[in-house]
Structure 1
Amino acid sequence: MRSFIPNQHGAWAMLIVPFLFGVFASTPVILHLPLFLCWLLLYLFTFPLLQLIRTGKGERYKKPLLVYGVLLAPLAGVLLMAKPGLVWYALSLLPFFLINCYYARKNQERALLNDFAAVLLFSSIVFVTYQIGGGNDWSAAVSLFSLSVLYFSGTVFYVKTMIREKRNKAFYGLSVGYHIVQAAVMGWMFSLWLLLPAGVLLIRAIVSPRLQPSIKVVGISEIGYAVLMTATVLCLYT
């Protein structure tokens, strides 16, 4: 099952949260359901593809590629017939995916640039879900996209201080500094209410690396932080 189920736990939040931002900032419609299924299958398809590029183990990853590809192709075809403009969105994702392929080939998937490319890629779904839900205030869509990028970029810094850079004091300082700027930007440019989740995230960035919880605890707690951020944003934009 390791060939079928992605082990990048943080990606699940990036898959879901920006999608919800766009859905509830506009109007939930029935087309959002097949769109989410297609979005999920696209992620499940690209995971073994990137692992194949990284390892060259075709025998291990060709089966999940086949299974997810067979499920994805007809669903994507139906969506493109319903919303032909989605083809331009799909093409816009290609540069970010090529960055992911490059780092997979070099076996450097945890590189910062690769992580930020993934953050931009996943956050961009806000524009699609917002438009499909009938949203027409594109300044709101840009705000939601920016909030998603701000939040998940902070998560990138934080998780690295907990795992790969946990003994790197300079990186810890960079993470805390980013979260201070993040809180200031959210409160000043968006809403003072966002200081609530931003403050919690800042405390997390300061305290958690010193407590050194297990990776499992870090992963579970991230679910709570994502729920807090999502609930606050949806209260403001719904």
Structure 2
Amino acid sequence: MAMRMNPWVPNQHGAWPMVTIPPLVGLFWCLKIWDSVSPVDRGDGLHGTAGMVLAFLAVTVAWVVGYLAFFAGGILMRARNATMRRRAVAPTAVYGAVAGVAAALALVLQPHLLWWSFVFLPLVGVAVYETWRGTPRSLASGVATTAASAFVVPVAATIGLGASLPVSGGVTWTSNLFTAAVVDALPPAVWVSFLWLLLYTVGTVLYVKTMIRQKGDRAWLLGSQIFHLAAVVLVVATVAVRYVHWAAWAVAVVVFVAALWRSRAVPASAAAGTPWPPKKVGIREIPLHAGVAVAGIMAALFYDGPLILFIG
């Protein structure tokens, strides 16, 4: 089977929602924040709308193609025969180069994005290390990759801020490069969207393990259910965050209650003899993952709070 694996085309279909949904939610936050910036505070040209669009596209390419490079690189690191290693070299190099160029372009357009290296380098490092040691599907790797995916949302939101004059004029390669002011200026509602996505994807890692690799393990099942219950409590508590629209919050609550139910009901169904192959498990996650995306998008669309930004 390993010999038939194509390093150019990932076969981990369940990873695609994690790869595509965060940039989608982030896009709506990016545009909402840009729309909230006063016209007199907006930049021009590559320091304004054009630069924002290019920076968002560059970050999206870096993220998506970076995943492709990670997949091919994982095959390269784990391959037990020379033929498979040779097949994985080209896609790892090509995807890695494209992702690197895209990331560099984003940094040239909006240097403040370099601050996010403090977040992504440790998370990617954990995922790469787990792959190198032969445990790419460990809990640590799953949490690291899902956390990295969720952080794409606030990264995209700061791209909207990056096209404003306070940022484009105040954060350059020679001034305030690692300032946290841009991140501090993100509305709390952005972090609520991030939290919803993070809690759901981490919960999915636990749930899928109870259905496949840790099937029948009562400790894993209990841990998954406790996490999902805690997630429901945390999501319900986000109603207290100002300017999080009630409709977005309600959608998120429904999704997480449904996720809690399936964390108990589906493993019980499998234990009773109902077939639950990996493909079926993954397909059943699509509506819930879409629901989290809708909640995050609604939080952005309906946001009507203030936007305070100062670079000094």
TM-score between the two structures when normalised by the length of structure 1: 0.89
- Greater fraction of residues in helix: 1
Matched, 1:5 2:9: yes
Q: CA deviation at 1:168?
A: 0.9
CA distance in 2, matches of 1:85, 1:179: 35
Which of 145, 161, 165 is the aligned partner of 2:194?
Answer: 145
Mapped contact 2:251–2:291 kept (Cα < 8 A): no
Give the secondary-structure state (helix, strand or coil) at the position aligned to 2:91.
helix
> What's the Cα RMSD here?
2.2
How high is the sequence identity, in percent, across the aligned residues?
29
Mapped contact 2:192–2:238 kept (Cα < 8 A): no
Specify the alignment match of 1:220 in structure 2.
Answer: 283
Mapped contact 1:187–1:193 kept (Cα < 8 A): no
CA distance in 2, matches of 1:53, 1:30: 35
CA distance in 1, matches of 2:227, 2:101: 42
Mapped contact 2:235–2:253 kept (Cα < 8 A): yes
Number of residue pairs aligned between Structure 1 and Structure 2 = 238
Which of 220, 223, 233 is the aligned partner of 1:174?
Answer: 223
Specify the alignment match of 1:197 in structure 2.
Answer: 255
Specify the alignment match of 1:53 in structure 2.
Answer: 77
Which of 292, 295, 307 is the aligned partner of 1:232?
Answer: 295
Q: How does 1:18-29 map to 2 (within 5 A)?
A: 18-27=22-31
Specify the alignment match of 1:206 in structure 2.
Answer: 264
Larger radius of gyration: 2
Unaligned 5+ runs, structure 2: 33-51, 163-184, 240-248, 271-275, 302-312
Give the secondary-structure state (helix, strand or coil) at the position aligned to 2:153.
helix
Which of 15, 33, 57 is the aligned partner of 1:33?
Answer: 57
Structure 1 stretch 153-162 or stretch 88-97: which is displaced more? 88-97
Matched, 1:121 2:148: yes
CA distance in 1, matches of 2:126, 2:200: 21
Aligned residue identity for 1:209: P
Unaligned 5+ runs, structure 1: none
Give the secondary-structure state (helix, strand or coil) at the position aligned to 1:3.
coil
Which of 114, 119, 130 is the aligned partner of 1:103?
Answer: 130
The Cα offsets for residues 96-117 of structure 1, whole Å up to 9 and x where unpaired, read as: 2221222112211121112111
Matched, 1:69 2:93: no
Structure 1: 4+ residue segments shifted above 4 A: none
TM-score between the two structures when normalised by the length of structure 2: 0.69
The Cα offsets for residues 120-142 of structure 1, whole Å up to 9 and x where unpaired, read as: 21111112101112394342232
